Amino acid sequence: MSDTIDDAKEGIEQAHHAAAHGDGGARRIAVLIAGLAAMLAMAEMATKSAQNEYMTRHIAASDDWAFYQAKDVRAALRNAEAAILESLPGAGQGAGQGADPALQARVKAAREAEIHFRDDPSAGNGMKQLADKARTEEAERDHALHRYHQFELVVGGLQIAIVLASVSVVTRVQTIAWASGMLGVLAGMFALLVHAGIV
C-alpha cells in the first residue's frame, strides 16, 4: 500500500509542479490522483477486512471439525464400551434370570452417551450440529475469500489508474487522464458491487 500511496504523492507533486508552470489541467489531474488514492485506501481496507474474515472463518471451521472428531472418538469409545459390556455374562436383555441390573444400566448409559455425542440438538454441540456449523463456516469462509479476490482486482485497477494519471501529468496527454478517470470510476463501481454482494 505504501508504494502506491508514494506513487500517488509523486503524481500530485508533479501535477502541482506543472500547475505552477501554467498547466491548468494539472490541477484537475492532481484532484483526480487524490480521489483515486482515497478510493485505493478504502479498497485496501476492504481487502484486509475480507482477508481477516476469511482467516476467522477458516479457524472457526477448523475448530468445529476438530471438536466433531473428538466427539466421534468419544462416541466410538462409548459404543465399544457398550459392546464389551453386552458381551459379559449377566448383561442379557430383559429382566430374565442372570440379568445384572447394574450391568444393564451401564450398557444403557453407554448407548445413551453415544447417541448424545452424535446428536445433541438441545446443547447444539452433537456431531450432527457441529458438522452443520462447520459447513456454514466453510461457506462463509469461501465467500470471504471470493470477496478478497474481487477487492484485489479493485486495488489493482485503482493502482493502474493512479499510474496513468501520473503519466498524463508528465506527458500532458489528456486522453491518458480520461482513461485514468474512467478506470477509477469502473473500479469504484466494481467495489460497490462487491461490497453489496452482487458480484
Radius of gyration of the chain measured on its C-alpha atoms = 32
- Show the cell assigned to 99: 440379568
132 phi/psi in degrees, rounded to 5: -60, -45
pTM for the model = 0.76
Instruction: Count Cα neighbours of 179 within 13 Å in the Cβ-side half-sphere.
Output: 13
Q: Which three cell numbers stand for residue 147?
A: 470477496
Q: What is the pLDDT of residues 52-99, one digit of tens each?
A: 999 999 999 999 999 999 999 999 999 999 999 998 887 765 555 567
Confidence of residue 159 (pLDDT cuts 50, 70, 90): very high
**C-alpha span between 136 and 186 (Å, rounded):** 33
pLDDT of residue 17: 65
Task: Tell the burial category of 103 from Cβ atoms under 10 Å away from its Cβ (0-12, 13-18, 19+).
Answer: middle
| Residue ranges making up the domain that contains 57 | 2-196
What is the DSSP-derived secondary structure letter of residue 121?
T
Give the pLDDT band of residue 148 (cuts 50, 70, 90): very high
Q: Which among 66, 46, 42 has a CA at the least distance from the CA of 54?
A: 46
How sure is the predictor about 40, in pLDDT bands with cuts at 50, 70 and 90? very high
106-115 tens-digit pLDDT: 999 999 999 9
How far is it, in rounded angstroms, from Cα 166 to Cα 177? 8
Q: What is the mean pLDDT of residues 117-127?
A: 93
- Tell me the torsion sign for CA atoms 58, 60, 66, 72: negative
Rounded distance between C-alpha atoms, residue 6 and residue 85, angstroms: 73
Any idea how long the chain is? 199
**Residue 188 corresponds to which amino acid?**
G
pLDDT of 19 strictly over 60:
no
- Residue 27 pLDDT: 85
In the numeric block, which cell numbers belong to residue 149? 479476490
Instruction: Report the mean per-residue pLDDT for the chain.
Output: 89
Would you state the pLDDT for residue 90? 75
Check residue 7 and give its pLDDT: 63
**93 Rama sector, left if φ>0, alpha if ψ -120 to 50, beta otherwise:** beta
> How many domains does the chain fold into?
1
